[in-house]
Chains A and B, each alone.
Chain A
Amino acid sequence: DAKTTQPNSMESNEEEPVHLPCNHSTISGTDYIHWYRQLPSQGPEYVIHGLTSNVNNRMASLAIAEDRKSSTLILHRATLRDAAVYYCILRDRWGAQKLVFGQGTRLTINP
């Protein structure tokens, strides 16, 4: 599986936008970029995924670089409930039932 690199931790203020970066320089053409997050004492939950184009959903936006070697998860207006560990994961289009979790980015939101 191609690897991803994320900062260990980030901090932001409530009601401000948050940009969480992810580097994946060895990404292949068939890899999708998935983001999951894990709230304290809970199991991970799906946030968003994309292939080439930027994606939006009710939780977040995903901005993918033109060369696909990096991506950014954007929380438009962070709340205290968004404090979590965010995982950026590459998944092959045709297989890879497993999710390969790195250590993720621990996001702290200040009130």
Chain B
Amino acid sequence: NAGVTQTPKFRILKIGQSMTLQCTQDMNHNYMYWYRQDPGMGLKLIYYSVGAGITDKGEVPNGYNVSRSTTEDFPLRLELAAPSQTSVYFCASSGLSSGSTDTQYFGPGTRLTVL
């Protein structure tokens, strides 16, 4: 299993440009998540999905959109890039919703710079 894969690894955007960060998992997990991590900080949840066709906002959803058309894929869309969106973005997946046993598996991250 490849686990959770993310593309691209790095990207530089100009203010106002748009892009989609790709995330794919091959573990047949129902739950998928997008986090961002600013320098020296912990991760913050942007959006999450409990299954195909179902998404919900996390702590910092403004400026982002998501969709979940398949179990495997959970792309994150930035419509009008702003310097405040400069960050490292991590996608994660898990098989269960219970906090008792739910282990989240993270991708390697996408480093995004907005100039």
Contact = CB atoms under 8 A, between A and B. Distances in A.
Interface of A: 31-32, 34, 36, 41-46, 49, 51, 87, 91-104
Contact of A101 (B42, B97, B100): B42
Contact of B99 (A43, A46, A91, A101): A91
17 contacts: A36-B104, A41-B109, A42-B109, A43-B4, A43-B92, A44-B104, A44-B106, A49-B101, A91-B100, A94-B98, A95-B99, A96-B99, A98-B58, A99-B104, A101-B35, A101-B43, A103-B40
Q: How large is the interface on B (under 10, 10 to 19, 20 to 34, 35 or more residues)?
A: 20 to 34
Interface in B53-109: 58-59, 90, 92, 94, 97-109
A95 B97 contact: yes
A95 B105 CA distance: 18
Interface in B13-68: 31, 33, 35, 40-45, 48, 50, 58-59
Contacts, number: 67
Contact of A97 (B48, B105, B106): B48
A15 to B, nearest CB: 28
Contacts of A44: 43, 90, 104, 106
Contacts of A46: 103-105
A43 B107 CA distance: 6
A91 B102 contact: yes
Given A44-B43, A97-B94, 17 more contacts: A34-B99, A42-B109, A43-B4, A43-B92, A46-B104, A46-B105, A49-B101, A93-B100, A94-B98, A97-B97, A98-B48, A99-B35, A99-B43, A100-B45, A101-B43, A101-B44, A103-B42
A93 B102 CA distance: 9
B100 A97 contact: no
